[in-house]
Amino acid sequence: MDATSRTPVFCTIVPPHILDKLARGADPDLADRARRTLERDALQRTRRRITTVRAAAPPAARTAPEDATPERTVYDARGTQDLPGTEVRGEGAEPVEDATVNRAYDGLGATFDLFLSGFARDSVDGAGLPLNATVHYGEDYGNAFWDGEQMVFGDGDGEVFLDFTRSLDVIGHELTHGVTQYTANLEYFGQSGALNESVSDVFGSLVKQYVQGQAATDADWLIGADLLAPGVSGTALRSMKAPGTAYDDDVLGRDPQPATMADYVHTSADNGGVHINSGIPNHAFYLLATDLGGNAWEAAGRIWYDVLTAGGLPTDADFAAFAAATVTAAEARYGDGDERAAVLGAWSKVGVPTDAEATVPRQTPAPEGAPPPAG
């Protein structure tokens, strides 16, 4: 696909393999809720394929003025699947009684602020795109997603997943899918899809660190740490610090993410394992950020952002191509110094070459409902 012709993809925060596990579990109520979430996700995915019109080119990004402000609108679906729903809070309006609405509003603003302050980017598209979000989507809907145009949050079922506005990094993650859509436009399949997911995890974590004023060495590097209900054996959906350790639960199963290429998961499910193998570039970024120290949205985040926006990354880039691009970006911004050495070291530790020569064969996505990898 040409880089100037971009079809928005439907991206969810909860991986299909988790919902598949729940849908096949012994608890009939949890299984029913998981199946309904999967069905809604499949419906939304189909709608994107049917209704999306490819734009001839993305809007021209501009250097944002320092006083740029977001344009946020939060809607309430009131338990339906009708989007966007009823407007309940617009830009500049006072907080409402519904905490979910206020968390969504604040999360949109926090993500806008990181990209503005850290990267001089004016909203998701770099050209002031209004930020819209819908809360209370569906009944017991166990997910949150970016549909190419807006954010949507479910309330969770209260037994496995809590309200999806609770995790600031989830909001940042999903909105970053929009940033990728308007920049590198990474195809949502195989290694390029895993990079798409990883970039969202990276900037989702950076949004949380930015708001909390945390240095890289102080951050938890967890994605979705506030989503799991009490009683679930786990800390989050994913761990960038230690992929494969986020959860180990009788109901959810065990976190299947690898931290290095030695454990790369070959699967046709989940568009070639986009939510699974993203653990590898996630871990590389964690290693880089903690090696450099300080605020991760500065040097490390700057290198990743430069790769997204430079314009030379293939839309079907594999890990090696992305790694090579980060070396080039580090050299361009910082020269042949500590930053470049740290980038090389991070990719080496996860087993990804930086010469863009080694690749993993591409795979064919499995049909909807295909079983996930074991684990």
**Domains of the chain and CATH, by start:** 11-182 (3.10.170.10), 215-349 (1.10.390.10)
Amino acid at the residue 5 = S
> Catalytic annotation on 339?
no
Nearest to 274 by CA among 316, 334, 225: 316
Computed over every residue of the chain, the mean pLDDT equals 88
| pLDDT beyond 70 at 364 | no
Question: What are the pLDDT digits (tens) for 62-80?
Answer: 677 778 999 999 999 999 9
Question: What are the pLDDT digits (tens) for 113-151?
Answer: 999 999 999 999 999 999 999 999 999 999 999 998 999
Q: Which two tokens stand for residue 275?
A: 């939510």
Question: What are the pLDDT digits (tens) for 245-266?
Answer: 999 999 999 999 999 999 999 9
- Residue in the block written with tokens 């786990």: 234
- The pLDDT, as a whole number, for residue 21 is 87
Q: Which residues of 136-156 are buried (b: 16+ CB within 10 A; e: fewer)?
A: bbbebbbbbbbbbbbbbbbbb
174, 187, 197, 339: the active-site residue: 174
| DSSP element (H, E) containing 169 | helix 168-182
Q: What is the CA radius of gyration of the chain?
A: 19
Q: At 361, give phi and psi (nearest 5°).
A: -55, 140
- CB-based burial label for 97 (10 Å; 0-12, 13-18, 19+): exposed
173, 177, 275, 283: the active-site residue: 275
| pLDDT beyond 60 at 22 | yes
Nearest to 318 by CA among 205, 201, 198: 198
> Catalytic annotation on 331?
no
Q: Which two tokens stand for residue 133?
A: 């979000």
Nearest to 347 by CA among 320, 370, 308: 320
- Residue in the block written with tokens 């949109």: 108
Cis link prior to 95 (omega < 30° from 0)?
no
- Where residue 39 falls among pLDDT bands split at 50, 70, 90? confident
- Pick the more confident residue, 56 or 176: 176
Q: Rounded to whole angstroms, how far apart are CA atoms 202 and 324? A: 18
With residues binned 3-state (H G I as helix, E B as strand, rest as coil), the percentages for the chain, rounded to 5, are 40, 10, 50
- The pLDDT, as a whole number, for residue 62 is 65
- The pLDDT, as a whole number, for residue 307 is 97
- Where residue 361 falls among pLDDT bands split at 50, 70, 90? very low
- Where residue 211 falls among pLDDT bands split at 50, 70, 90? very high
- The pLDDT, as a whole number, for residue 8 is 57
